[in-house]
Amino acid sequence: MKQDEIDNLIVALKPAAVADLAEDAYARRADVAQVRARAGASAVNPRVVPARRPVRRLALAGGVTAVAAAATALAVAIPSDGPGAGPGGGQDGTLDTRTFLLASAKTAAEQPATRGACWYKRTRMWQDILPFKPGPGVPTPARKSMGRSQNFQARTASSVEDWACAQSGTRMRFGTNGPLDIKVTFPTKKDEAAWKAAGSPPLDVNDGTTVSKPRMVTYSKGSHLVNPVIGSHEIEWKTIAKLPATDGALESYLRRLWQQDRRGGAHGYTAPADFGEYVFVSAWDLFMAPTTPDTRAALYRILARTPSVRVTGQIKDRLGRPGVAVTAQGTSVRLVVDRKSAQLLDFEDRSSALPGKPAGGEYLAFESQGWVNKLGAAPAR
């Protein structure tokens, strides 16, 4: 297959993101831009599409607006494992922010500094399908599914696999496979009956619809699809392993980027006045990239001494995994960190909303990540 044919296939597979990504790499980060805009940043590019890497969200399908889950259903509080149990635990079983983050730094630093041919990630995303309701900034759909307006709610879930493989010189090879393990649930039997009455139309999921079959696509350009982002700065994939490995050096590096963005970054973005907020919003991208154990540990230590960052408690994510919720003042972002391994379990952003609806958001569960020996392979789960 020729490269142009491959590119066309990628566009067909990722209709909500790739066309705009190729024109404006940073515009893909509408979700992060919304968080920063709510914290006082300047207006974002009006051409921004509602998409997050590594998942691609479809904005409209058959008159149904797809958004991620309502904030009230994102996580369930759980009791601690007992007095002082696990890293960061106090004598009464509570979690102290600084203690927990420093313990996570220690755990991260003890991980083996392995490398491989390809970096692998498997991510799961949930989307709430809500009845269409026009309003400011929400255009009337061009068509109505089955000749009528949608009058039901549903939630879809699916997973996607991504690979980034280094080749000779500066060449890279990328791959994506999805949607996988598609699930649909309805909040009530009435909603399910309304969906069936509408002809059981396909519903949006990551990289397709509920009737889509998994497709594996490989490509050799478009690295901005996987590059981590700090503020308005993309970190080139080949330089991720070279990020500073001590908290002093990493903080100096991040402050330099922050100061540049405070003066005005790319695409009209202006960084928030709080440095800790700036770092926290981008932290998940660095934790999900193949940064070294020392860099991850340094990032945890920076967060530990940031007054605006705080632990809010122990929770379970939608996959039922126990973790610790970490937030930052001024943002709508929440991270959930595994207490034992210091691995990031999920990312939650509750910044988006529909007119007349409760605040929505985006919920990504990170199912697996690690080095593999070739594109298409997956680490043991």
More confident residue, 30 or 107: 107
Per-residue confidence (pLDDT) for residue 13, from 0 to 100: 41
Judge whether residue 78 has pLDDT over 70. no
Residues 315 and 233: their CA atoms lie apart, in Å, by 32
User: Which residue, chain included where needed, has tokens 């879809």?
Assistant: 156
Q: What is the pLDDT averaged over residues 82-111?
A: 73
Residues 271 and 36: their CA atoms lie apart, in Å, by 7
With a pLDDT cut of 90, the percent of the chain lying above it is 49
Lowest mean pLDDT among 23-27, 175-179, 302-306: 23-27
- Beta strands (DSSP E) in 42-171 are 60-61, 64-67, 76-77, 118-130, 154-166
Judge whether residue 71 has pLDDT over 80. no
Per-residue confidence (pLDDT) for residue 95, from 0 to 100: 80
Q: What is the pLDDT averaged over residues 225-233?
A: 86
Per-residue confidence (pLDDT) for residue 10, from 0 to 100: 40
Q: What is the pLDDT averaged over residues 196-216?
A: 91
> Which H/E stretch holds residue 313?
strand 309-316
Q: For all residues of the chain together, what is the average pLDDT?
A: 74
Judge whether residue 86 has pLDDT over 70. no
**What does the pLDDT look like over 279-324, one tens digit per residue?**
999 899 999 999 999 999 999 999 999 999 999 999 999 899 999 9
Q: What is the pLDDT averaged over residues 134-139?
A: 58
Per-residue confidence (pLDDT) for residue 118, from 0 to 100: 92
Residues 311 and 309: their CA atoms lie apart, in Å, by 7
| Residue 228 and residue 240 in contact, taking contact as beta carbons nearer than 8 Å | yes
Residues 165 and 143: their CA atoms lie apart, in Å, by 41
Any alpha helices (H) in the chain, and if so which ranges?
Answer: 3-13, 18-23, 30-38, 97-109, 189-197, 247-264, 275-288, 293-304
Which distant-in-sequence residues (6+ apart) come within 8 Å of 275 by Cβ?
Answer: 254, 255, 258, 306
DSSP letter assigned to residue 302: H
Per-residue confidence (pLDDT) for residue 360, from 0 to 100: 52
Q: Strand, coil or helix: what is 75?
A: coil
Q: Strand, coil or helix: what is 326?
A: strand
Q: What is the pLDDT averaged over residues 84-102?
A: 67
More confident residue, 274 or 74: 274
- For the record, the structure tokens of 342 come out as 């210091």
Q: Phi and psi of 175, rounded to 5°?
A: -150, 150
Per-residue confidence (pLDDT) for residue 226, from 0 to 100: 76
Looking only at Cα atoms, what is the longest distance across the chain? 63
Judge whether residue 1 has pLDDT over 80. no
Judge whether residue 342 has pLDDT over 90. yes
- For the record, the structure tokens of 145 come out as 């599914």
**What does the pLDDT look like over 231-278, one tens digit per residue?**
999 998 888 999 999 999 999 999 999 999 999 878 888 999 999 999
Q: Phi and psi of 132, rounded to 5°?
A: -65, 135
Per-residue confidence (pLDDT) for residue 136, from 0 to 100: 61
| Residue 329 and residue 95 in contact, taking contact as beta carbons nearer than 8 Å | no
Per-residue confidence (pLDDT) for residue 132, from 0 to 100: 64
Residues 332 and 75: their CA atoms lie apart, in Å, by 15
DSSP letter assigned to residue 174: E
Q: Give the predicted TM-score (pTM) of the model.
A: 0.73
Q: What is the pLDDT averaged over residues 57-64?
A: 30
Judge whether residue 170 has pLDDT over 90. no
Judge whether residue 53 has pLDDT over 90. no
The one-letter amino acid at 114 = T
Per-residue confidence (pLDDT) for residue 177, from 0 to 100: 94
More confident residue, 231 or 90: 231
